[in-house]
Amino acid sequence: MTDSVHDEPLFHEVEGNPTPDNATGGFFVTRDGRKIRYGLFGAVTRPIRGTVVVLSGRNECIEKYFETIRDLADRGFGVATLDWRGQGSSDRLIRDRQRGYVRSFRDYAADLEQFFEEIVLPDCRGPYYILAHSAGATVALLASPSMVNRVRRMVLIAPFLTLPDLPVSISTVRRLCSLFCALGLGRLYAAWGPRPKVSAPFDTNKVTTDPERYRRNTRIYEEHPQLALGGPTIRWLRAAAKASEAVSDPDFMAGIQIPLLIIAPVTDQVVSTRAVEAYARRLRLGSLLMIDGARHEILQEADIYREQFLAAFDAFIPGSDDPTA
C-alpha cells in the first residue's frame, strides 16, 4: 500500500514483522495543519466485537504494534491507530527530526479527538475501546472527558505520571523546564540525544526482557530510520509534566466516567510503578493489575508477561454482544 502524499509505502515491514491483514490507512490534516499518519486494520474472525484504538508511547510508530494488532484482529476486533504528531511518519514539529518535541499534550489530545471524529466514528465499527501505552496512556486520560460518550472502556499500560526514583516532584520538574523554556532552551535535549545509528545491545535495554522482540523493534528503526526519534526535549518534558499534573488533579480524577484497567509492570525503569499504583487506587472506576517481573513495554515483552496482559484484556474488554458491558 502506497501513500500518495509522501510517495512511499504507508507501512514499513522488516523480517518477522509483516503488515497485518486487512490494512488500510492514510493521513489526516490537523486543524493546525499537521499531517498525521493513521492505520486501520480489520478483524480476521467473526463475530466482529468492535474497534480498539491503540495509542502508542513516545518514540513509537504504528509498525511496532503489528503483533498486537494481529492479536486483537484474531479476537474479532478492528484496530485504529495513529502516529502522534512529531514522531513516526507524522509531521515532525521542529527542523531537527530527531528531537522529541511537542508544545502541549493537549495537542495530542486534540489530534485524538479529531481522529475519532473524522476517521474512527465514520469508518470503524463500534463499540470503541482504547488500549494505550505510557505517554499515550497519559493522553488517553487527558482526553477522557471528550471520550465519555464514545469509548466504552480503556486499558492503560504504565501511564507516564512521573519518573522512577525521581528526587523531586513532577511539579518541580515542570517548574524547572518552564524556566529553561522561558530562557529559549526548550528545544534542547532533556535526556539522551539523537538515536544512535547502531542500536544499543539487548542487555543494556530497560524496556523488555524478550531479546527476539527487542531485535525486531530495533530493526524497524535501523531499516527505516525516518520513523526513529531521539531523546525528548525540555519542552516535551514540560508538556508531559503538565499533563501528569492535570490528570492527577483530584477533581479531574473524580470526573473520569470511563471504566479503566491500569496495567503496571512491577520492574518498570521508565515510569514510576509506585505512582501508577497509587493513581489506580484513587480512581472510582479504575482497577489495577501488577505484572511482576515485567518491564515497561508489556506489549513487547516475553510471552510469560504478555499472556498475563492478554488474559486481563480479554476479561476486561467485553464484546459488543455483551449488553451488560
**Residue-level pLDDT, tens digit, the chain, 325 residues:** 555 444 679 999 999 999 999 999 999 999 999 999 999 999 999 999 999 999 999 999 999 999 999 999 999 999 999 999 999 999 999 999 999 999 999 999 999 999 999 999 999 999 999 999 999 999 999 999 999 999 999 999 999 999 998 999 999 999 999 999 999 999 999 988 898 888 899 999 999 999 999 999 999 999 999 999 999 999 999 999 999 999 999 999 999 999 999 999 999 999 999 999 999 999 999 999 999 999 999 999 999 999 999 999 999 997 544 444 4
What pLDDT sits at residue 191? 87
**Whole-angstrom distance, CA of residue 124 vs CA of residue 320:** 13
Q: How far apart are CA 93 and CA 95, in angstroms?
A: 7
Closest CA to 131 of 253, 304, 321, 312: 312
Cβ–Cβ < 8 Å for 115, 91: no
Cell readout for 52 is 480498539
> What is the pTM (predicted TM-score) of this model?
0.95
Residue 3: per-residue pLDDT: 52
Residue 167 CB-density burial (10 A; 0-12 exposed, 13-18 middle, 19+ buried): exposed
In this prediction, residue 211 carries a pLDDT of: 98
Q: Distance from CA of residue 242 to its chain's centroid?
A: 17
Check residue 318 and give its pLDDT. 79
Cell of 201: 545491545
Say which residues have a Cβ less than 8 Å from residue 255's Cβ, sequence separation at least 6.
145
Asked if residues 135 and 57 have their Cβ atoms less than 8 Å apart, the reply is yes
Rounded Cα distance between 138 and 220, Å, is: 25
| CATH fold label, 2-316 | Rossmann fold (3.40.50)
Coil, helix or strand at residue 41 = strand
Map residue 287 onto helix, strand or coil: strand
User: Which parts of 224-272 fold into alpha helices (H)?
Assistant: 234-248, 250-254
- Residue 121 CA, distance from chain mean position: 20
User: CA 39, CA 227: separation in Å to the nearest integer?
Assistant: 15
Q: What pLDDT, on the 0 to 100 scale, is given for residue 2? A: 52
pLDDT at 212: 98
What is the per-residue pLDDT for 7? 64
Cα–Cα distance, 26 to 39 (Å, whole number): 7
The three cell numbers locating residue 79: 484496530
- Cβ atoms of 206 and 214 within 8 Å: the answer is no
* Cβ partners under 8 Å of residue 230, min gap 6: 59, 98, 99, 100, 189, 192, 193, 194, 195
289, HSE (Cβ side, Cα atoms, 13 Å)? 21
